[in-house]
Amino acid sequence: MNALVLAILTYAGFILAYNTYGKFVSRKLFELTGSNVTPAHYMKDGVDYVPTKRKILFGHHFTSISGTGPIVGPAIGVIWGWVPAVIWVVVGSIFIGAVHDFGALIISSRNKGKSLGDITSDIVSPTSRNLFLAIIFFLLLIVIAIFAMIIGKLFIMYPASVFPVWMEIPIALILGHLVYKKNKNVTILSIIAVAIMYLTIWIGAKYINDFQMMSIFGMEPIIVWVVILMIYAYIASALPVQKLLQPRDYINSHELLIAMGLLILGLVVVQPSIVAPAIRTSVKGAPSMMPFLFITIACGAISGFHSLVSSGTSSKQLDNEQDAMQIGYGGMLLEGALAILVILACTAGLGDTTAWTARYIDWSNASSLGAKLGAFIDGGASFMEGIGISVAFAKTILAVFVVSFAATTLDTATRIQRYVVAEIAETMKIKPLTTKHGATLFAVITAVLLAIAKPGGAGAMILWPLFGATNQLLAGLALMIITVYLAKRGKSIVFTIIPMIFMMAMTGWGMLYNIKNFYNKSDWLLFIIGIIIVVLEIWMLVESINVIRKSKSERAAKA
């Protein structure tokens, strides 16, 4: 099939969905209104609660939820064929992921910008709150440690990306200062900032393309990068959000749009055919497509991490409640559009069927970090080459794009973990950890300890086998909270409970499959943690069902 035709069809579907289903969810389920004062105004503190223009917040939200998720997941998910991957991205993002992100954003905004875990106390029960926060802490611990390691590895794999990625920081700081302190025109400044950003990419590709981090104090280069990145994450998550996170993410959002534009233009010119098989049910060493397609392709369709961003940082910056549809629902659809581009790059940009098969010959070959990111970067570079961009420069553009998004996820996850640690510490009455710096320090130190638990920063890989299923179980739990919220307000729950049941069924199935493997391999640490997570999920599910039944009985009695 022609890749350009597939892109046109899927993008038309996203646009149609935004203007139909998105508006229905906005008006009928959540009843958005501009008269509701958001926490960014009545809790404004200039650090976390900051009223933010819609287009700036959209940039922050989108880059935070994306990271490498919509790249890594689809890049490996196509191993089962391009048809199931495309269907899941389109259907999942429209009817499940976008509703999930949007719902979490609205519920948090209407509850003082609290995290979804903290809100669970009021919506379900205090016990469920503590269980939810425990799962969130565990998930974010893995995210922070893994992303620090991934960025370090990417710096080693693509040294030309080091200079432009770190130059984003001073560019963002200057942009934030001029916009918020000097009240300068954000549109003009953002154009200038992005132009400078691409100049640094050119410099990195041409003159600083062989940089390698040295060993320091006996630490191997990857560990040095992890430590440097965690120091950065500490500073970025403790700074007022408008100083660094907002302007940098705003620049990154423009960088994304330009990169996507170049890829799409390349598609139009080259018009490659998809060389990957439509469906591939038997892959050496790979788990079954059902349910692991829905776990592997996470951020491109739905991801539990998104609910943490929506309720962790974005809800605290929402200027007007009516902005939530574009930010929450629209942001997820744009991520789905990015995932489609990744699928096309990995299935139509790698040459012929023989070249594709060589990369995806078995699970172990396709699932490594280098293979996943390399397939997207090489495939995407072939599209850009069709419009006259050199392969080396194109690869640097895409590598900087990937690293920039990963860095955004790293510091956003650290900031959210700070909120979670403070919320848990408040319940346990551990006063030092309720402060901004105390909670941030705890979040960073625990992630560093996990990352360095094994050589090469691979300590996070100890828990990585649990990440995919746990992340998607969190998405199911978030949909459950949204369902209870709607039920207590007498709204139809069919639009959230069906996605909730589907996600819990698929990811619960995957978790049980993993637990069986851990048992067979005598991996008792992962086996015990996996059992605990399943028990916590069932516990929360039972409590939520009881709340829904109770609310229905109360409404019936009143009627």
Name the residue among 457, 484, 322, 424 with its Cα closest to residue 117.
424
Partners of 238 in the β-ladder: none
Place of tokens 């440690």: 145
CATH T-level assignment (fold) for domain 3-558: Amino acid/polyamine transporter I (1.20.1740)
Alpha helices (runs of H) in 33-161, residue ranges in sequence order: 39-42, 54-66, 69-77, 82-92, 98-109, 116-123, 126-157
Query: Residue 120 gets which letter from DSSP?
Result: H
Burial tier of 433 (Cβ tally within 10 Å: 0-12, 13-18, 19+):
buried
Q: Give pLDDT tens digits along the chain (559 positions).
A: 899 999 999 999 999 999 999 999 999 999 998 889 999 999 999 889 999 999 889 988 998 888 777 888 899 899 999 999 999 999 999 999 999 999 999 999 999 999 888 888 888 888 788 888 888 899 899 889 888 888 888 898 889 889 999 999 999 999 888 988 888 888 888 889 989 998 999 998 888 888 888 888 778 888 899 999 999 999 998 899 888 888 888 888 888 888 889 999 999 999 999 999 999 988 888 889 999 999 999 889 999 999 999 998 999 999 999 999 999 999 999 999 999 999 999 999 988 888 898 888 888 776 666 667 788 889 999 999 999 999 888 988 888 888 888 888 898 899 999 999 998 999 889 999 999 999 999 999 999 998 888 777 677 777 777 888 889 989 998 999 999 999 988 899 999 999 999 998 998 899 999 899 999 989 888 899 889 888 887 887 888 888 888 777 777 777 6
Neighbour count for residue 187 (Cβ, 10 Å): 9
Name the residue ranges covered by the structural domains of the chain: 3-558
- C-alpha distances in angstroms, 131 versus 124, 429, 547, 558? 11, 17, 16, 32
pLDDT number for residue 366: 66
DSSP string over 168-228: HHHHHHHHHHHHHTS---HHHHHHHHHHHHHHHHHHHHHHSSS--PPPBTTB-HHHHHHHH
Report pLDDT for 369.
64
**pTM of model > 0.95:** no
Angle between the N-to-C axes of helices 494-520 and 98-109, in degrees from 0 to 180, rounded to the nearest 10: 110
Burial call 280-293: b when 16+ CB within 10 Å, e when fewer: beebeebbebebbb
Per-residue pLDDT at 153: 86
